[in-house]
């Protein structure tokens, strides 16, 4: 007979026995495991891991990129030949940026442009502003504009030459961010140990901090030093302008002449900078002609490059701004007077931050790494010397619907069939049967003449890189005399200096680690000032220039000289920054 | 209304007045619970702590509260182990204060950790080398001991005594009290010590790092000493406060003086030990890890004045007052000195937690500052309110001061005899 | 033989571009949260700007990448963790953090002299769609736990698997490098086995101008720095009495 007592005893005994089995202990450990995965935390997708190759489209340097992909989705980017800059490392985040432009009314914009073309008076022009000239898409635009009766092709001034750092013995950098995104890190840093770097710059930039010698010149006087070294300006005048001792300048000039080959670089490699280099005998050694990959013969009918200054005031009836690739924008204050009162302005943009603020129509453009394109001729030439290159920015992810390609938009308006421009260009390169193709996946280099066109085209689309044969630099060019030095007037006591010009309009949200979660870089809307400039840390102020104003917050920094305000490069700053950098700060 | 629950022979204020007293504290508790709830639901981003100040107001006050709550174990030790029977007058009150301090501190700790649900991991995957493991084990064990010690006090309630099985249970528990006092003392010594060890072992923070005996740095022993020294002082302070608030005499002056004397004695020993420790640290420990001690005091507002305040102003001075029989016989002196001693220990805990984190370790570090958010302050106020409520309820319904009735009768007798004398 | 992975960072080469910082966040699924600031953000790798203390134009700056220094002796964080959420792997010498074991008491953060440990003050979040770019080898952490550099643990495992698949017992030098090393455009960071005398890092530590931060604490950090500039090497030592505030980073 089972009593109630027996039942209790049985239950108690079972409980005791259970403790001796692994079950309860396992259960406790498992509760720990459950608490490890709370809901709401995303789980990374899993899948086959593979590598894809492309070239970075975030600046004209176009570094070779290896993307680690899960299935088709890139999850990290790395350089093929050395590292990448922080923008490049995080490029695969751009398609998901919350501030990315996703919608636009293309038919409306197309109709407005078509109307502007149709109704235009003889003195009215249709213009394209191309922020990154020299691409195949640039050629498409120029061809389309040539097909229109009054098309004008506008672009920022292209470098007057390419530079080769590999043979350089001494490099004088006049404020160029040589070590900070000026050329592809691979080409710059590989050559770095071979040359002595003299950085002349008012602010101790990243490049100045790592230069062999930093010359803290008066803000805005860098070019005077260049002239002095080239001998077009006297030592005394240069010393007065730069604040350096005459002996110091003479020493720089001497070291450039004696420890050659010498090279002078500036933020913009204008023809004047080229002239200084020619005076140092750098042509053919450190300064080379900028070579462009072969073009199909039929592309010769293209609109010429017109400087913005040459456009008549109020003459632009329609302006198409190609912001679909990053480049150094022209200040809006310079563009705006050229527009007619009823001008149609179409911006092809990644976000609302750039020219989209001024445009009548904004069309979303595919971001890196969604868009297929190619890169302009490189500023920093390959170490072997003067050779043309052709490299594609191959899409790593598909672009969402509704994105507009500016070249395609314009050729549709102009009635030009340019869908296969890149392929035609590749065919022209292949037809020339010169140079070699490098494929990153296997690290092989093969001569173009041994390749069938289909294989060549396929390899280019898998992130291959074509390089032409090294050519003789030829005779040094003849150059026009230099422009006069601008003089900063009294109401503008400060010089405006910017970090990282040409940074992409959209950067990965992770980039905020560099200015929000640390103080490594200057964040947007922050202005670094000398602690003795009379502002407190965090004080709000208005930055004024002859072209406009913009609100900033002061960040005190002992490495910024008195008389200089250093700001992060943003579209707002680009709009108000003049060539002379005149500025003043007004406390709020 | 609640007369049946109030102990025989003592007088308590009316229910209405009591509710009036309770109401603001209850409101504060509600506000504090809301603050703590925010921290639990939304996370510790509600606080002003950050990666450079991973410990803030809560840890500082936890350390202080636990040091002040040491009166419970130390009085128990003096009464049950060393047989100082005068202390029977305050032991129940000390137990309640201890319980409030410890349970409050543990509650705040549970809000302070990022994943309270994993608190039990410490028991499941203990790292025996960690001082925090020692603290966790001892704190939770000692809180259990305190709860068991509190139980007989609750069961002595007039109404509860009517349940016969409670009486038996209480009687049985009472037999255990010596064991409990012993265990409590042992556990307390350990966790007070390991709370000190918490900082003393921080090799990477030479401001806090100390050499010591075996695995225990000197702060281990200093924390035990200082806690034992101020525990009695805090009982003096609270008893005085309760007497003032309730306008009743609760204990004889002798008991308080005895507590003061013990406190003074231990404080003197502590000041001596702390001085020696500081000298060794300045001249040997800190320079050996590459940190000249002068550096720590070059960051304003932490000058050397803080050392002076800690050792002399709030250490030596109250110790001397408490050791002088004539001074401690006066209530004002006794209470002031006890207050200074308590403040001194709080300052020591502040220095160990806050200054340790504020002074830079790398040459390119910044001196960092921190001010708690309202959620942090609110959470702490919840503990204060909880303490006041538990103590108030215990004082009203339980017999915390066994001498209260005698003192009242003596007072009544005195008054009536005076009356008689006056009449004749 | 057991490995002892370490790093050698050439401060004279670091341009302070921050590629290592973002590459680290990409690799280890560290989110950037709107409320995070320099004291609440998560930057396993963080580049500080230091200077020689002079005023313009004598001011000279240098950039110091800071990460967990992987202390080998009396590892301060591993020592204090109450629940063994921090461990030093004897096979690699890497100080590991198990966020899923962490209670979030932050004692290890108080213990670390290098401020290389970070607390998750918020739940992790990514802009819509960006969670697709998360690294499948690393689990995102929940709020309330501490995390830090582990020399890209996911990469170590991947390298181990590759080696095993190739039938090799050991990871070959160069097969396993953390994301920051790979990303650095200036080639300022080298990584390898300090126990292997033929490795670059083992050689680099004996170079003139090589130093470690706060070496006198006696924790045997495995990150070696290098600079030929005297004032830069002063960062190895404790702050000077009356030192000035000069932190950027």
Whether residue A489 is contained in a domain is answered as no
Asked if residue A55 and residue A183 are part of one domain, the reply reads no
Nearest to A96 by CA among A403, A504, A399: A399
Let me know: does A468 contact A291? Beta carbons within 8 Å: yes
Best to test chain A binding among C57, C139, C185 (most A CBs inside 10 Å): C185
A314 lies in which domain range?
106-157+292-467
Asked if residue A355 and residue A298 are part of one domain, the reply reads yes
pLDDT bracket for residue A484 (50, 70, 90) = low
Asked if residue A383 and residue A366 are part of one domain, the reply reads yes
Nearest to A287 by CA among A312, A266, A258: A266
Nearest to A279 by CA among A242, A233, A238, A222: A233
Q: Which domains does chain C have, with CATH numbers?
A: 5-236 (3.30.70.20)
Q: Which long-range contacts (CB under 8 A, 24 or more apart) does A479-488 make?
A: A479/A271, A479/A272, A479/A274, A479/A275, A479/A278, A480/A271, A482/A227, A482/A232, A482/A272, A482/A275, A483/A272, A485/A223, A485/A224, A485/A241, A486/A220, A486/A579, A486/A580, A487/A580, A488/A220, A488/A580, A488/A581, A488/A582
- Helices B374-397, B57-68: inter-axial angle, 10-degree rounding: 20
pLDDT of residue B418: 63
- The phi and psi torsions of A191 (rounded to 5 degrees) equal -90, -10
Q: Which of chain C's residues have a Cβ under 8 Å away from the Cβ of B112? A: 105
Touching partners of B (3+ C-beta pairs < 8 Å): A, C
Domain stops at, among A238, A253, A287: A287
Q: Which residue has the tokens 């470098």?
A: A159
Let me know: does C25 contact C126? Beta carbons within 8 Å: no
- The CATH code of the domain that includes A545 is 2.40.40.20
Query: Hey, is A54 helix, strand or coil?
Result: strand
What confidence tens digit (pLDDT) does each residue in A80-90 have?
A: 988 999 999 99
Inform me whether the pLDDT recorded for A43 exceeds 80. yes
Sequence-distant (6+) residues with CB within 8 A of A295 are A139, A425, A428
Let me know: does B319 contact B344? Beta carbons within 8 Å: no
Taking CB atoms and an 8 Å limit, are C114 and B204 in contact across chains? Answer: yes
pLDDT of residue C245: 46
Cα A19 to Cα A5, A13, A14, A26, B123, distances in angstroms: 21, 10, 9, 11, 17
Q: What is the mean pLDDT of residues C203-221?
A: 93
Q: Tell whether omega for the bond before A98 is within 30 degrees of 0, i.e. cis.
A: no
Whether residue A91 is contained in a domain is answered as yes
Domain stops at, among A252, A287, A322: A287
Longest dimension (CA), chain A: 121
Sequence-distant (6+) residues with CB within 8 A of B163 are none
Let me know: does C22 contact C238? Beta carbons within 8 Å: no
Q: How far, in Å, CA of B112 to CA of C119, rounded?
A: 13
Q: Which of chain C's residues have a Cβ under 8 Å away from the Cβ of A568? A: none
Q: Which residue has the tokens 């033929």?
A: C198
Let me know: does C71 contact B165? Beta carbons within 8 Å: no
Inform me whether the pLDDT recorded for B149 exceeds 90. no
- Closest in A45, A83, A510 to C183, CB measured: A83
Inform me whether the pLDDT recorded for A26 exceeds 90. no
Count of structural domains within chain A: 5
The two tokens of residue B389 are 């409520």
Q: What is the mean pLDDT of residues A184-204?
A: 92
What confidence tens digit (pLDDT) does each residue in A307-352 have?
A: 998 999 999 999 999 999 988 788 888 899 999 999 999 999 999 9
Whether residue A482 is contained in a domain is answered as no
Asked if residue A351 and residue A255 are part of one domain, the reply reads no
pLDDT of residue A331: 85
- C:148-187 residues touching chain A, CB 8 A cutoff: 179, 182-187
Taking CB atoms and an 8 Å limit, are B124 and A35 in contact across chains? Answer: no
Q: Which residue has the tokens 């007619």?
A: A340
Q: How far, in Å, CA of A297 to CA of A147, rounded?
A: 16
The length of chain B, given as a count of residues: 424
Whether residue A472 is contained in a domain is answered as no
Inform me whether the pLDDT recorded for C247 exceeds 50. no
Whether residue A41 is contained in a domain is answered as no
Q: Which domains does chain B have, with CATH numbers?
A: 3-400 (1.20.1630.10)
* Dihedral over alpha carbons A526, A528, A534, A540 (to 10 degrees): 0
What confidence tens digit (pLDDT) does each residue in C11-63 have?
A: 999 999 999 999 999 999 999 998 899 999 999 999 999 999 888 888 899 99
Which helix (DSSP H) or strand (DSSP E) does residue A573 occupy? helix A571-576
Q: What is the mean pLDDT of residues B346-360?
A: 93
Asked if residue A540 and residue A501 are part of one domain, the reply reads yes
Taking CB atoms and an 8 Å limit, are B52 and C239 in contact across chains? Answer: no
Whether residue A462 is contained in a domain is answered as yes
- The CATH code of the domain that includes A222 is 3.40.228.10
Whether residue A477 is contained in a domain is answered as no
Let me know: does A196 contact A158? Beta carbons within 8 Å: no
Break chain C down into helix, strand, coil percent, rounded to 5: 20, 15, 60
Closest chain C residue to B129, measured at CA: C79
- Helices B164-200, B218-246: inter-axial angle, 10-degree rounding: 130
Asked if residue A172 and residue A146 are part of one domain, the reply reads no
Comparing B406 with A213, the larger pLDDT belongs to A213
Q: Tell whether omega for the bond before B301 is within 30 degrees of 0, i.e. cis.
A: yes
Inform me whether the pLDDT recorded for A389 exceeds 80. yes
pLDDT of residue A373: 94
pLDDT of residue A501: 66
Average pLDDT, chain B: 90
Q: How far, in Å, CA of C100 to CA of C91, rounded?
A: 22
Sequence-distant (6+) residues with CB within 8 A of B276 are none
Q: Which residue has the tokens 């050698």?
A: C8
Asked if residue A28 and residue A148 are part of one domain, the reply reads no
Q: How far, in Å, CA of A170 to CA of B30, rounded?
A: 73
What confidence tens digit (pLDDT) does each residue in B2-58 have?
A: 777 887 778 888 889 999 999 999 999 999 999 999 999 999 999 999 999 999 999
Q: Tell whether omega for the bond before A413 is within 30 degrees of 0, i.e. cis.
A: no
Asked if residue A405 and residue A552 are part of one domain, the reply reads no
Whether residue A483 is contained in a domain is answered as no
Q: How far, in Å, CA of B90 to CA of B71, rounded?
A: 10
What confidence tens digit (pLDDT) does each residue in C58-104 have?
A: 889 999 999 999 999 999 999 999 999 999 999 999 999 998 889 99
Nearest to A327 by CA among A406, A414, A428: A406
Chain A residues at the B interface, defined by Cβ less than 8 Å, are: 28-29, 32, 35
Asked if residue A397 and residue A306 are part of one domain, the reply reads yes
Q: How far, in Å, CA of B270 to CA of B276, rounded?
A: 10
Taking CB atoms and an 8 Å limit, are C112 and B204 in contact across chains? Answer: yes
Q: How far, in Å, CA of B334 to CA of B317, rounded?
A: 12
What confidence tens digit (pLDDT) does each residue in A401-437 have?
A: 999 999 999 999 888 888 899 999 999 999 998 999 9
The string over A317-345, giving b where at least 16 C-beta atoms fall within 10 Å of a residue's C-beta and e elsewhere, is bbbbbbbbbbbbbbbbeebeebbbeebbb
Lowest mean pLDDT among A17-21, A340-344, B19-23, C114-118: A17-21
Q: Which residue has the tokens 């406009």?
A: A548
Inform me whether the pLDDT recorded for A363 exceeds 90. yes
Asked if residue A452 and residue A329 are part of one domain, the reply reads yes
pLDDT bracket for residue A119 (50, 70, 90) = confident
DSSP per-residue string spanning B200-259:
HT-TT-TTT---EETTEEHHHHHHHHHHHHHHHHHHHHHHHHHHHHHTS--S-HHHHHHH
Taking CB atoms and an 8 Å limit, are B43 and C123 in contact across chains? Answer: yes
Q: What is the mean pLDDT of residues A474-497?
A: 67
Inform me whether the pLDDT recorded for B388 exceeds 90. yes
Taking CB atoms and an 8 Å limit, are C76 and B204 in contact across chains? Answer: yes
What confidence tens digit (pLDDT) does each residue in B105-120 have?
A: 999 999 999 998 888 8
What confidence tens digit (pLDDT) does each residue in A448-474 have?
A: 999 999 999 999 999 999 999 888 877
- The phi and psi torsions of B390 (rounded to 5 degrees) equal -60, -40
Comparing C163 with B248, the larger pLDDT belongs to C163
The two tokens of residue A178 are 């040589």
Inform me whether the pLDDT recorded for C248 exceeds 70. no
Q: Which of chain C's residues have a Cβ under 8 Å away from the Cβ of A206? A: 15-17, 63
- For chain C, the first-to-last Cα distance in angstroms comes to 38
Average pLDDT, chain C: 92
Q: How far, in Å, CA of A300 to CA of A413, rounded?
A: 20
CB pairs under 8 A between B and C: 188
Query: Hey, is B420 helix, strand or coil?
Result: helix
pLDDT of residue C140: 92
Q: Which of chain B's residues have a Cβ under 8 Å away from the Cβ of A32? A: 118, 121, 124
Sequence-distant (6+) residues with CB within 8 A of A125 are A150, A151, A152, A311, A315, A316, A317
Inform me whether the pLDDT recorded for A482 exceeds 50. yes
pLDDT bracket for residue C188 (50, 70, 90) = very high
Beta-strand pair A564-568/A494-499: parallel
pLDDT bracket for residue C249 (50, 70, 90) = very low
Q: Could you report the predicted ipTM of this complex, rounded to two decimals?
A: 0.94
Q: What is the mean pLDDT of residues A478-496?
A: 63
Taking CB atoms and an 8 Å limit, are B115 and C145 in contact across chains? Answer: yes
- Closest in A28, A29, A35 to B118, CB measured: A35
Nearest to C52 by CA among A559, A519, A565: A559
pLDDT of residue B424: 53
What confidence tens digit (pLDDT) does each residue in B164-188 have?
A: 888 888 888 878 888 888 888 888 8
Q: Which of chain C's residues have a Cβ under 8 Å away from the Cβ of A185? A: 185-186
- Helices A246-258, A235-242: inter-axial angle, 10-degree rounding: 110
Sequence-distant (6+) residues with CB within 8 A of B204 are B361, C76, C111, C112, C113, C114, C214, C217, C219
Inform me whether the pLDDT recorded for A502 exceeds 70. no
pLDDT of residue A22: 86
Asked if residue A134 and residue A172 are part of one domain, the reply reads no
Q: What is the mean pLDDT of residues C214-228?
A: 95
Q: Which residue has the tokens 């001196």?
A: B367
- The phi and psi torsions of A322 (rounded to 5 degrees) equal -90, 95
Let me know: does C146 contact C89? Beta carbons within 8 Å: no
Nearest to C47 by CA among A567, A507, A93, A513: A513
Asked if residue A436 and residue A297 are part of one domain, the reply reads yes
Q: What is the mean pLDDT of residues A129-149?
A: 93
pLDDT of residue C174: 87
Which helix (DSSP H) or strand (DSSP E) does residue C224 occupy? strand C223-226
């Amino acid at each position: 007979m089972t009593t109630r007592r027996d039942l209790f005893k049985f239950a108690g005994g079972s409980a005791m026995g259970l403790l001796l089995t692994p079950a309860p202990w396992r259960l406790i450990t498992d509760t720990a495991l459950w608490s490890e995965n709370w809901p709401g935390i995303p789980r990374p997708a899993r899948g086959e891991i593979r590598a894809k190759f492309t070239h970075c489209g975030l600046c004209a340097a176009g570094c070779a990129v290896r993307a680690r992909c899960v299935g088709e989705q890139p999850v990290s980017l790395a350089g093929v030949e050395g590292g990448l800059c922080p923008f490049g490392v995080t490029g695969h985040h751009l398609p998901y940026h919350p501030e990315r432009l996703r919608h636009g009314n293309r038919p409306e914009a197309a109709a407005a442009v078509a109307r502007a073309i149709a109704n235009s008076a003889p003195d009215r022009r249709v213009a394209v502003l191309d922020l990154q000239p020299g691409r195949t898409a640039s050629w498409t635009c120029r061809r389309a504009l040539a097909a229109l009766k009054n098309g004008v092709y506008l672009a920022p001034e292209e470098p007057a030459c390419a530079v080769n750092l590999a043979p350089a013995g001494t490099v004088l950098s006049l404020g160029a961010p040589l070590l900070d995104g000026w050329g592809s890190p691979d080409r710059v840093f590989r050559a770095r140990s071979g040359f002595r770097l003299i950085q002349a710059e008012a602010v101790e930039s990243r490049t100045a901090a790592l230069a062999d010698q930093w010359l803290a010149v008066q803000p805005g006087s860098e070019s005077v030093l260049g002239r002095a070294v080239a001998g077009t300006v006297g030592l005394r005048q240069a010393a007065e302008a730069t604040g350096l001792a005459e002996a110091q300048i003479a020493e720089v000039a001497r070291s450039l002449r004696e420890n050659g080959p010498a090279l002078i670089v500036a933020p913009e490699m204008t023809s004047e900078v080229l002239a200084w280099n020619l005076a140092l005998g750098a042509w053919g050694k450190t300064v080379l002609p900028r070579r462009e990959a072969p073009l199909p013969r039929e592309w010769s009918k293209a609109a010429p490059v017109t400087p913005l200054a040459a456009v008549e005031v109020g003459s632009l009836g329609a302006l198409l701004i190609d912001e679909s690739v990053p480049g150094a924008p022209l200040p809006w204050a310079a563009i705006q007077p050229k527009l007619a009162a009823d001008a149609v302005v179409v911006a092809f943009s990644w976000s609302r931050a750039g020219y989209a603020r001024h445009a009548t129509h904004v069309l979303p453009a595919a971001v890196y790494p969604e868009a297929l394109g190619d890169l302009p001729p490189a500023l920093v030439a390959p170490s072997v010397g003067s050779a043309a290159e052709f490299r594609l920015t191959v899409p790593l992810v598909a672009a969402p619907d509704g994105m507009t390609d500016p070249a395609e938009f314009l050729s549709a308006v102009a009635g030009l069939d340019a869908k296969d421009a890149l392929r035609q260009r590749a065919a022209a390169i292949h037809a020339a049967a010169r140079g070699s193709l490098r494929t990153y996946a296997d690290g092989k280099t093969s001569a173009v003449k041994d390749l069938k066109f289909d294989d060549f085209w396929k390899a280019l689309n898998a992130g291959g890189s074509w390089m032409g044969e090294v050519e003789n630099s030829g005779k040094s060019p003849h150059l026009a005399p230099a422009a006069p030095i601008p003089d900063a007037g009294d109401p503008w006591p400060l010089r405006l200096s910017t970090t990282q010009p040409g940074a992409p309009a959209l950067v990965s949200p992770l980039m905020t680690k560099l200015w929000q979660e640390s103080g490594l870089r200057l964040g947007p809307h922050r202005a670094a000032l000398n602690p003795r400039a009379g502002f407190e840390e965090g004080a709000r102020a208005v930055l004024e220039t002859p072209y406009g104003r913009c609100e900033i917050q002061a960040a005190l920094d002992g490495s910024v000289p008195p008389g200089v305000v250093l700001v992060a490069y943003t579209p707002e700053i680009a709009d108000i920054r003049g060539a002379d950098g005149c500025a003043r700060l007004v406390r709020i | 209304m609640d007369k049946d629950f109030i102990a025989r022979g003592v007088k308590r204020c009316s229910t209405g007045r009591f509710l009036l007293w309770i109401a603001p504290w209850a409101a504060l508790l509600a506000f504090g619970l809301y603050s703590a709830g925010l921290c639990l639901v939304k996370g510790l981003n509600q606080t002003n702590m950050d990666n450079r100040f991973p410990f803030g107001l809560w840890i500082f006050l936890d350390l202080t509260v636990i040091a002040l709550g040491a009166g419970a174990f130390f009085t128990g030790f003096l009464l049950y182990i060393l047989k100082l029977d005068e202390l029977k007058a305050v032991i129940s009150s000390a137990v309640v204060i201890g319980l409030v301090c410890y349970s409050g501190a543990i509650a705040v700790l549970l809000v302070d950790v990022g994943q309270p649900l994993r608190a039990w991991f410490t028991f499941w995957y203990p790292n025996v080398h960690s001082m925090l493991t020692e603290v966790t084990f001892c704190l939770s064990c000692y809180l259990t001991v305190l709860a068991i010690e509190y139980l007989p006090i609750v069961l002595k309630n007039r109404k509860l005594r009517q349940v016969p099985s409670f009486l038996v249970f209480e009687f049985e528990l009472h037999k255990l009290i010596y064991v409990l006092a012993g265990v409590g003392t042992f556990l307390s010594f350990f966790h007070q010590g390991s709370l000190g060890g918490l900082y003393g072992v921080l090799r990477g923070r030479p401001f806090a790092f100390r050499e010591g005996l075996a695995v225990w740095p000197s702060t281990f022993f200093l924390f035990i000493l200082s806690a034992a020294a101020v525990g009695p002082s805090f009982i003096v302070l609270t008893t005085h406060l309760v007497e003032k608030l309730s306008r009743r005499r609760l204990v004889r002056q002798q008991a308080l003086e005895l507590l003061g004397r013990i406190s003074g004695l231990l404080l003197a020993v502590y000041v001596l030990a702390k001085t020696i420790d500081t000298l060794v640290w300045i001249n040997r420990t800190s320079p050996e890890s590459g940190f000249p001690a002068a550096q720590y005091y070059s960051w304003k507002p932490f000058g050397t004045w803080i050392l002076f305040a800690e050792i002399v102003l709030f250490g030596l001075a109250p110790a001397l007052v408490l050791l002088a029989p004539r001074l401690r016989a006066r209530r004002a002196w006794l209470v002031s000195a006890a207050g200074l001693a308590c403040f001194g220990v709080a300052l020591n805990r502040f220095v160990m937690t806050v200054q340790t984190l504020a002074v830079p370790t790398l040459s390119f570090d910044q001196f960092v500052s921190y001010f708690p958010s309202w959620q942090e302050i609110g959470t702490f106020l919840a503990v204060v309110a909880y303490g006041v409520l538990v103590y108030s309820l215990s004082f009203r319904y339980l017999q915390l001061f066994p001498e209260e009735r005698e003192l009242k009768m003596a007072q009544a007798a005195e008054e009536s005899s005076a009356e008689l004398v006056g009449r004749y | 033989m057991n490995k002892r992975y370490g790093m050698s960072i050439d401060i004279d080469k670091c341009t302070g571009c921050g590629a290592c910082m973002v590459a680290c966040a990409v690799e280890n699924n560290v989110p950037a949260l709107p409320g995070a600031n320099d004291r609440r953000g998560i930057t396993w790798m963080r580049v500080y700007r230091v200077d020689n203390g002079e005023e313009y134009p004598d001011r000279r700056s240098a950039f110091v990448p800071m990460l967990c220094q992987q202390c080998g002796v009396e590892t301060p964080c591993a020592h204090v963790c109450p629940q063994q959420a921090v461990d030093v792997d004897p096979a690699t010498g890497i100080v590991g953090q198990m966020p899923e074991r962490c209670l979030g008491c932050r004692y290890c953060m108080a213990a670390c002299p290098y401020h290389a440990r970070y607390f998750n003050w918020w739940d992790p979040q990514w802009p819509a769609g960006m969670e697709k770019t998360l690294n499948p080898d690393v689990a995102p952490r929940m709020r309330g736990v501490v995390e830090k550099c582990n020399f890209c643990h996911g990469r170590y495992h991947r390298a181990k698997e590759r080696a095993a698949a190739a039938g090799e017992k050991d990871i070959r030098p160069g097969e396993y490098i953390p994301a920051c090393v790979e990303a650095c455009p200036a080639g300022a960071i080298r990584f390898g086995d300090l126990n292997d005398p033929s490795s670059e890092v083992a050689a680099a530590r004996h170079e003139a101008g090589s130093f470690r931060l706060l070496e006198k604490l006696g924790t045997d950090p495995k990150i070696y720095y290098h600079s030929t500039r005297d004032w830069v090497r002063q960062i190895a030592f404790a702050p000077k009495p009356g030192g000035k505030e000069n932190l950027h980073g």
